[in-house]
Amino acid sequence: MNILNDPAMKEIVDDFCEEANSLFDSLENSLALIEENPSNTKELEKFGQVIDRIMGAAKSIGATEIATFCELGKVIGYKSSQIKEIPLIEVVVAVLFDSLDMLRKMNESLRAGNDKSMSKINTKAFVTRLTWLSEKFKDIERSSCAIEDSGKLNQNSIDELMKSLGL
């Protein structure tokens, strides 16, 4: 039995869900600030840092789908903080708003006791956007986008993350 299914650990899972919701609010605030001023790429960096916190906590409780989804958001946040093309940043913000909405749904599903939350979320259009974005960012290298045991995040790593989510 893993921590997500252990009744004795429900309080820990509930605490994670509550903290994640608070951090989602912070992420939404960052995205709103970028939406108002797309040249404010420091907020994209902040987005990457905050979603990284959620990713670490999700990994620690065994919420692997949420952790993997957060890892994709982290990569998009960090890599997009390096671009200057306002139209592309606007697309990034829209995709990150969508990902935040999906993360909220996954979090609520987890709180309700369903640890396989991706199966209830329609991701087809989102995957198309992620694939398109990952192509735009393929030449941007960030050490903060490293994946454990595999070095820097490359296109194959992004593809593997998406595949692990069934996307």
pLDDT at 122: 63
pLDDT at 156: 58
Structure confidence by residue, pLDDT tens digits, 7-24 = 788 889 999 999 999 999
**Looking at residues 119-124, what average pLDDT do you find?**
63
Please state the φ and ψ torsions of residue 113, each to the nearest 5 degrees: 100, 10
Question: Helical H runs in the chain?
Answer: 10-36, 42-61, 64-80, 86-111, 124-136, 155-164
Please state the φ and ψ torsions of residue 151, each to the nearest 5 degrees: 75, -145
Q: How many CA atoms lie within 13 A of 167 on its CB side?
A: 23
Which superfamily does 7-164 belong to?
HPT domain (1.20.120.160)
**Looking at residues 133-154, what average pLDDT do you find?**
58
What does pLDDT average to over the chain? 80
Q: Angle at which helices 86-111 and 64-80 pack, to 10 degrees? A: 160
Structure confidence by residue, pLDDT tens digits, 39-59 = 998 999 999 999 999 999 999
d(CA 15, CA 12): 5
* Contact criterion met (CB below 8 Å) for 51 and 27: yes
Task: Give residue limits of the domains in the chain.
Answer: 7-164
**Looking at residues 15-42, what average pLDDT do you find?**
95
pLDDT at 68: 86
Least confident of 83-92, 96-105, 122-131: 122-131
Tokens of 88: 């592309």
pLDDT confidence bin for 117, thresholds 50/70/90: low
